[in-house]
Amino acid sequence: MADALVILYQKAAEVTRKLCDQHCQNRGPNHCCQAKYCEDTREFARKHYGVELQDTGHEIPFMGPAGCTVAPHLRPACSLHICPIQWGKGLGPEIDAAYLRMHCEVLKEARAQGKVPEFSV
């Protein structure tokens, strides 16, 4: 049986990626990626899934030619991040409300599984 949290993070990453592509076009893909977030991801994957992530050799540890090489459920802060919402500007009432529902659904399942990220999302 598929893990509900893995599925929810995958869906969230697909939604946030589309929104980032639409609303962060001037900055380019992966513009929010920073090595410090990779370290949070590394610790989360180790602690909650027993996975040791391997660096790619890029200055951003998990960046590959097509973007991040880490599965969405192992990088919760990245999978749920959308700049305009995280920084309080929003994307409009309907998108913001849909994002909040999705975000809450993911974190509800994360709590149920004891896999809530310790860092802010």
Strands (E), 1-121: 63-64, 67-68
Query: Are 10 and 72 spatial neighbours (Cβ–Cβ below 8 Å)?
Result: yes
Query: Are 75 and 68 spatial neighbours (Cβ–Cβ below 8 Å)?
Result: yes
Question: Does this model's pTM top 0.75?
Answer: yes
**pLDDT 10s per residue in the chain (121 long)?**
689 999 999 999 999 888 887 777 555 556 677 888 899 999 999 999 999 999 999 989 999 888 899 999 999 999 998 877 777 788 889 988 999 999 999 999 999 999 999 865 4
**Three-state secondary structure call for residue 4:** helix
The token duo for 59 is 């200055």
Residue 98 burial class via C-beta count within 10 angstroms: exposed 0-12, middle 13-18, buried 19 and up: middle
Query: Are 77 and 106 spatial neighbours (Cβ–Cβ below 8 Å)?
Result: no
Task: Output the pLDDT for position 28.
Answer: 55
Domain ranges in the chain are: 4-113
Handedness of CA 54, 57, 63, 65 (dihedral sign): negative
The token duo for 21 is 């592509």
Task: Output the pLDDT for position 4.
Answer: 97
